[in-house]
């Protein structure tokens, strides 16, 4: 039975060009980039070249790119680094109710330490934050605003340009978790007034365990760990050369393919949305209908449990998720869905379907044939059990 992978928001397969580039590094370049002899200089060239590739896609300068172990570290470094660097100048952090746990849990941890005050801004039924609500939350002691560019569960894209303009006008730094959007949609820091941006390689067909943080020139950032002073002291520790090379290649390839591939995926996404809403009674689309990631279709099915949906789809040959993969083992409803105002019993029946480069029309046809009877069967079983 052919498997159909529909969980690209959780992770993507490594692109063959990326895997080949990383394999060459592992075979041929063993030097430490901090060493000044020939082997070290060869490794440094590869890291610098990847930095240039990432910067080019983001519309940034190479010196503004800091390599990390992934999106979670990038989010932590942004929030903790800025708040620590500006301690004494401001102690207020503003974020939204639908951020990834890497942001929300970090904000709560900073708040529990007593050094930071946090304001959580709500979103509307579509998962969009009102820029005016961000403006109203900013106060004289606000140091940082953190608003994700696109949500990892419901795919909603935020009005980041408008929010950035507000932050710039008020003299407040803006961080955006763009882990889901970079590589899928255009994100040009030369046009978007944002000061810090988190990126994660395995969301755009790169390796797991490597990411980056864009830090606009002039943004003060304290390091979160001490050691050898790599990454100009902003993220110390020996660089993951093969992973960094993979990140650079993956982002370059994603940018080259974006125009055609994102449009193709958006067409598949819309086929899924239209097909599910037409075939499954009482299905609820979550997230904004049009202002959403090109590959994301997410729903709630009242009367069905998300975990049961995932298991049934898995048995039928489909890989999907119920909310975020990072919290898929939790039986509690997603905080994102609850923030939309959905009732708890409805939020428990969530399903996220995210297409990718290998997804075909035939895959969508198969899904639309398999999903309705699965939902019907689970609903019937739930009624019987009651």
pLDDT at 275 over 80: yes
Show the 3-state SS of 314-375.
HHCCEECECCCHHHCCCCCCCHHHHHCCCCHHHHCCEEEEECCCCCCHHHHHHHHHHHHHHH
Whether 329 shows a pLDDT value over 60: the answer reads: no
Q: Report how far residue 360's alpha carbon sits from residue 342's, in angstroms, rounded to the nearest whole number.
A: 32
Query: Minimum mean pLDDT among 134-143, 152-161, 268-277, 316-325: which range?
Result: 316-325
pLDDT computed for residue 205 by the predictor: 98
**Confidence tier at 386 by pLDDT (50, 70, 90):** low
Q: Where in the chain is the domain with CATH 3.90.1150.10?
A: 4-11+258-385
Mean pLDDT of 8-25: 98
Q: If pLDDT is split at 50, 70 and 90, which confidence band does 142 have? A: very high
pTM summary value: 0.95
pLDDT at 331: 64
Report whether 100 contacts 74 (CB < 8 A): no
Tell whether the model's pLDDT for residue 332 goes beyond 90. Answer: no
The predicted model gives 59-63 an average pLDDT of 98
Where does 4-11+258-385 sit in CATH, by number? 3.90.1150.10
pLDDT, residue 1, reads 72
Which neighbouring-strand residues pair with 296? Answer: 354
Give the residue-averaged pLDDT of 182-187.
Answer: 97
Residues of the chain with CATH 3.40.640.10: 16-253
Average pLDDT, stretch 348-373? 98
12, 356 Cβ separation under 8 angstroms: yes
Q: Average pLDDT of 280-299?
A: 98
Q: Is the pLDDT of residue 328 over 90?
A: no
pLDDT at 211: 98
pLDDT at 232: 87
Active-site residue identified among 56, 316, 319, 326: 326
For the stretch 371-382, pLDDT in tens is 999 999 999 998
What's the chain's average pLDDT? Answer: 96
Give the separation between CA 221 and CA 84, rounded to whole angstroms: 8
- Catalytic annotation on 326? yes
- CATH of the structural domain 16-253, one choice from 3.30.1300.10, 3.40.640.10, 3.30.1060.10, 3.40.1280.10: 3.40.640.10
pLDDT category, 218, cuts 50, 70, 90?
very high
């Amino acid at each position: 039975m052919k498997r159909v992978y529909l969980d690209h928001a959780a992770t993507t397969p490594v692109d063959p060009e990326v895997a080949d580039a990383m394999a060459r590094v592992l075979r041929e370049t063993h030097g430490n980039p901090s060493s000044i002899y020939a082997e070290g200089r060869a490794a440094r060239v590869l890291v610098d070249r990847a930095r240039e590739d990432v910067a080019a896609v983001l519309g940034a300068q190479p010196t503004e790119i800091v390599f990390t172990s992934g999106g979670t570290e990038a989010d932590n470094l942004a929030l903790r680094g800025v708040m620590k660097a500006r301690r004494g100048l401001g102690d207020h952090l503003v974020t939204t109710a639908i951020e990834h746990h890497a942001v929300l849990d970090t904000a709560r941890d900073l708040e529990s330490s007593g050094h930071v005050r946090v304001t959580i801004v709500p979103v509307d039924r579509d998962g969009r934050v009102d820029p005016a609500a961000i403006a109203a939350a900013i106060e004289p002691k606000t140091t940082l605003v953190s608003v994700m560019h696109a949500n990892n569960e419901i795919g909603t894209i935020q009005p980041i340009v408008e929010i950035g303009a507000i932050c710039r006008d008020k003299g407040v730094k803006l961080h955006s978790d763009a882990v889901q959007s970079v590589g899928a949609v255009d994100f040009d820091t030369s046009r978007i007034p944002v000061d810090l941006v988190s990126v994660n390689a395995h969301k755009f067909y790169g390796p797991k365990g490597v990411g980056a943080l864009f830090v606009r020139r002039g943004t003060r950032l304290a390091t979160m760990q001490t050691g050898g002073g790599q990454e100009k002291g902003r993220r110390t520790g020996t660089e993951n050369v093969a992973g960094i090379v993979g990140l650079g290649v993956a982002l370059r390839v994603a940018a080259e393919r974006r125009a055609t591939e994102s449009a193709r995926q958006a067409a598949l996404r819309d086929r899924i949305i239209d097909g599910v809403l037409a075939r499954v009674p009482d299905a609820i689309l979550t997230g904004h209908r049009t202002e959403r990631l090109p590959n994301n279709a997410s729903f709630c099915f009242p009367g069905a449990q998300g975990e049961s949906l995932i298991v049934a789809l898995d048995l039928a040959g489909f890989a999907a998720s119920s909310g975020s993969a990072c919290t898929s083992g939790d039986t509690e409803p997603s905080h994102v869905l609850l923030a939309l105002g959905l009732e708890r019993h409805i939020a428990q029946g969530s399903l996220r379907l995210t297409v990718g480069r290998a997804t075909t029309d035939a895959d969508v046809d198969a899904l639309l044939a398999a999903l309705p009877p699965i939902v019907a069967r689970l609903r019937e079983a739930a009624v019987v059990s009651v």
